Amino acid sequence: MSEKKEPAGDALHNLRHSLAHVLAQAVTKLWPGTKLTIGPPIDYGCYYDFLFETPISEEDFPKIEKEMKKIIHQGQTFRCDELEAADAKKFWKEQKQQFKVELIEDLEKNEKVKTVTNYVNIGPKGEDAFTDLCRGGHVENTKEIPIDGFKIMTLAGAYWRGDEKREQLTRIYVAAFPSKAELDEYLRIQEEARKRDHRKLGKELDLFTFSELVGPGLPLWTPRGTLLRNLLDGYVWELRSAKGYDRVTIPHITKKELYETSGHWQKFQNDLFHVRTREGHDFCMKPMNCPHHTQIFASQQRSYRDMPQRYAETTTCYRDEQTGELHGLSRVRAFTQDDAHVFCRPAQAKEEILKVWEIVDQFYATVGFGKLRVRLSLHDPANFEKYLGTPEMWKQAESELRSIATDRKADFFESPGEAAFYGPKVDFIAKDSIGREWQVATIQLDINMPERFDLFCIDEKGNHERCVMIHAAIMGSLERFLSIFIEHHAGLFPLWVAPVQVGIIPVAGTHEDAAHALESQLKAQGIRTRFFGSEDSLGKRIRDGEMWKVPYLLVMGDKEIEAKSVTVRNVKTKKQVTVSIDEFVQKTVADVTSRALEASIG
């Protein structure tokens, strides 16, 4: 064994990594016999996965934090010991830490390592206080970790190595920042995120549900939620139709040979739902739509005069996600894509990509996300075996996308290793109302699938000309998009897309006839209304309308009926104004027709 110098590393990374060691040291002191696995830093702190002999709960957080602060106060330092792999395995076997032994064995097998490093926390009296298998880096002294800069957040279950057949572990998440102010700001955002959680709002607003009888990860959309989906999808189709797209329809299953040809089978067969026919044929539920669409294009010989061909379809796809990875609408087993594919000549690709880009910009401005950042998702040259095609094909495709982003003066950055296995992508990044970033729309330039399916058109000279294929998703997965959209607006949707746009509240029973007449007038103009009858108190009905997040609540009493007016409560701004019925109807219809982001009354 030899002592090795600590790698420099990033300061915040080192702080969070060190805190993971402190967490593990505290846990093993409080619960001797606990088995250690891994504890990496993450983008807001760190976590550590443990196998406990007896379960712990959130009630144990205060005593864990107290022990962690005690360790930090001691001013422990870190020593790096380099060991031969065999010696390290012997050490961890003596400690009865079988997961560490398995990690070393994997390092020997997969990375061909001969040595590994243990990091030892040195206590106040120079003693070895805690040891972990680790690559570094760390702070020089635990006193560099701010006592008031971290907080244990949650417990979660996790399978060892992500394998549901392996041990069920307990994951402890910790938020960690260089200062209390930064931690407080993170906690404020988390509290706001909890209020906006799409799972909570989806239930409160009756948008979607899940059923144990149907199965996890298979959302069921209520009438209100279906209306919301259809309004958004209809807008996407309106934008696409204006650019010359045609609708197509494909089945939900396919022979596996389709995906063998496309290359998806070799890479993703374990993520698919498999279907076996009575005759013994292997089919699968479609996890994506592009290979099916190639067969529509290939069904006829295409002249250069027929190009480009633009196909669009909103359809459900299926992937066999692990149960532990499912999360509301964000990660599901059945997801609906607003998918489109353009088959065009290489010289037409730039124009077609720009058309999609225009749709993306217009859609996201209308739904309230404003200007988007752009990520050019490129291949990783060091791992080219992960991709289809040749380096020359990739260089040409990536140069094309880079040129388009530059010409549009986009706010873009490049991200090697993020490309699809068949081609580079333009991924659009939206920032929500509490500052979180989400990848939303995508445009992918595919130079491989046309090659694999031999897709071509007949050029002006009668020769075969290889096509290129553009994949374009505006919302992408409607489920995932709606999880973002619901949280971004906190359920207070823009007027044009709100499932119920106007709530009508007569003050008393004597005002109901006039209120019903207004309801009929609004419905005749296509305004979605809800009538709150006078059975309950006026205050309760207003609170119910606010709970349902109806954009406008109209109160009608003697004064309003006499003046042919309504008192309008804007639920989002909390402002209340009185306007004539004619003015209200005119402005509301105009706002809905124009898809105004902000309602003009109140």
Q: What is the pLDDT of residue 423?
A: 83
CA distance linking residue 597 with residue 340, whole number of Å: 26
SS3 at position 553? strand
Residues 271 and 320 sit within 8 Å (Cβ to Cβ)? yes
The predicted model scores a pTM of 0.85
In this predicted structure, which of 64-73, 86-95, 396-405 has the lowest mean pLDDT? 396-405
Question: What is the Cα–Cα distance from 286 to 284, expressed in whole angstroms?
Answer: 6
pLDDT higher than threshold 90 for residue 448:
no
Does the pLDDT at position 597 exceed 60?
yes
Mean pLDDT of 292-296: 97
At 388 the pLDDT is 78
Cis before 251? omega within 30: no
Cis amide leading into 137 (omega within 30): yes
Taking 70 as the threshold, does the pLDDT of residue 6 lie above it? no
Share of the chain above pLDDT 90, in %: 82
Residue 137 exposure: Cα atoms within 13 Å on the Cβ side:
13
Ordered structural domains, the chain, with CATH: 2-190 (3.30.980.10), 204-484 (3.30.930.10), 495-593 (3.40.50.800)
Integer CA distances (angstroms), 489 to 14, 197, 484, 497, 517, in order: 36, 11, 9, 12, 31
As a whole number, the mean pLDDT across the chain is 93
The structure tokens listed for 58 are 């959130």
Q: Is the dihedral of CA 19, 25, 27, 33 positive or negative?
A: positive
- Which of the residues are catalytic? 290, 319, 337, 339, 341, 425, 471
Coil, strand or helix at 470: strand
Residue 304 has pLDDT above 60, yes or no: yes
Instruction: Provide the greatest CA pair distance for the chain.
Output: 93
**Across 75-84, average pLDDT:** 94
Does 106 score more than 90 pLDDT? yes
Query: Mean pLDDT, to the nearest integer, of 505-512?
Result: 96
Give the C-alpha distances (Å, rounded to integers) separating 13 from 9, 69, 80, 81, 174: 7, 19, 17, 20, 13
pLDDT surpasses 60 at 5: no
Q: Which two tokens stand for residue 554?
A: 């109209």
Provide mean pLDDT across the span 258-283: 88
At residue 300, φ and ψ (nearest 5 deg) are: -135, 155
CA distance 526 to 448: 47
| pLDDT of 234 | 98
What mean pLDDT comes out for the span 582-595? 96
Is a pLDDT exceeding 70 seen at residue 133? yes
In 3D, which of 220, 287, 300 has the Cα closest to residue 250?
287
pLDDT of 3 higher than 60: no
What average pLDDT score do residues 288-297 get? Answer: 96
Average pLDDT estimate for 154-165: 89
Which of 65-69, 93-97, 248-252, 319-323 is least confident? 319-323
Is 527 a residue whose pLDDT tops 80? Answer: yes
CA dihedral 168, 170, 171, 174 (to 10 degrees): 180
Examine the pLDDT at 32 and tell me if it is beyond 90: yes
Give the SS3 label for residue 104: helix
